[in-house]
Amino acid sequence: MTSSTVSSPLPSARAQRRRMLRSADRSRNPFRIGGAILLALVFAFPIVWTTIGAFKPSSEANASPPVWWPSQFSLQSFAKLDSSGTSLLSYVLNSSAVTLMTVAITTVVAVLAGYAFARFRFPGKRVLFGISIGMLLVPYPALLVSLFTVMVWFHLTNSLFGLALIYSTFQLPFAIYMMRNSFESLPAELTEAAELDGCTKVTALPRVLLRLVAPGVVTVALFAFLAAWNEFMAALVLLNDNSSFTLPIALMNAQNGPLNTIDWGGLQAGITVTMLPCIVVFILLQRYYVSGLVAGTGK
């Protein structure tokens, strides 16, 4: 405020006008606000209902008609997801392993490739970039048939590492594109200055540039996390041993219980464990999600 009174009247008038426009953009319509809040509650209801359901004692989680509020909060449902006796924790660990590997591989590979595409000239560059973008036009469920055969060749079926390699590969189009844009938005003088300080073009990456593209790296990691944690179809096809199942597969199996009996409490506990990390991570990193979306939609 004080600085605007000191400086010339023009910017202050402009600031005032901007404030005016901003307040014109503010809605005080109670129907709009009420409607928006109501809609948000409707959207949140399934999430809240399931989370509460996960903490109901087993008898109340499976009660018909459903019990709205548990008489006491219990962790009973988290103990057993299915009749196989494998605990929910082991599936959480499997999913975490696949997700961590995917995030690590995707970010490292995409940072290197993004830097190469943004700052280096090399033969085949346009072909490689073209293929990585062209991948977006080929839906990956269509490739699962042959991907399964390829994984048999590489002895990577039933392997969480093999799954992570596939997830990383199919994250690359977005990740490389995102990282290339991040590197291109840095001024070229920066690399030149680093080279004068004794870096090579390659060592300038970890020493100088990496910190500056960190927001892009977070975005790439976030998208890789959500994709790997939630992926279902490839895991369904490639994993065939209960001990290596990821959460989505384990949940699906819990739903196909023996003799069609489903422990709804256990299922809700499993769903809660699967969905809450995504929601929490998204809320913490919203900003990066939006910037990824902005990059993706070409604004």
Least Å distance, CB 16 to another protein, is 14
Name 58's Cβ contacts closer than 8 Å, sequence gap at least 6.
Answer: 74, 76, 77, 263, 265, 266
Least Å distance, CB 151 to another protein, is 9
- Cβ proximity to another protein, 3 vs 68, nearer residue: 68
Q: Determine if residue 69 is left, alpha or beta; phi over 0 gives left, psi from -120 to 50 gives alpha, anything else beta.
A: beta
Least Å distance, CB 244 to another protein, is 17
- Cβ proximity to another protein, 5 vs 254, nearer residue: 254
Q: What is the DSSP letter of 57?
A: -
- Cβ proximity to another protein, 3 vs 148, nearer residue: 148
296 touches 289 (CB < 8 A)? no
- Cβ proximity to another protein, 93 vs 143, nearer residue: 143
- Counting other chains too, the contacts that 284-292 makes at CB distance below 8 Å and 24 or more residues apart are 285/218, 285/222, 288/215, 288/218, 288/219, 288/222, 289/219, 289/222, 289/223, 291/215, 291/219, 292/174, 292/178, 292/219, 292/220, 292/222, 292/223
Q: Which residue has the tokens 């070229």?
A: 188
- Cβ proximity to another protein, 3 vs 69, nearer residue: 69
Least Å distance, CB 128 to another protein, is 6
- Cβ proximity to another protein, 6 vs 160, nearer residue: 160
Least Å distance, CB 84 to another protein, is 17
Q: What is the DSSP letter of 207?
A: I
Least Å distance, CB 279 to another protein, is 5
Q: How many CB atoms lie within 10 A of CB 25?
A: 7
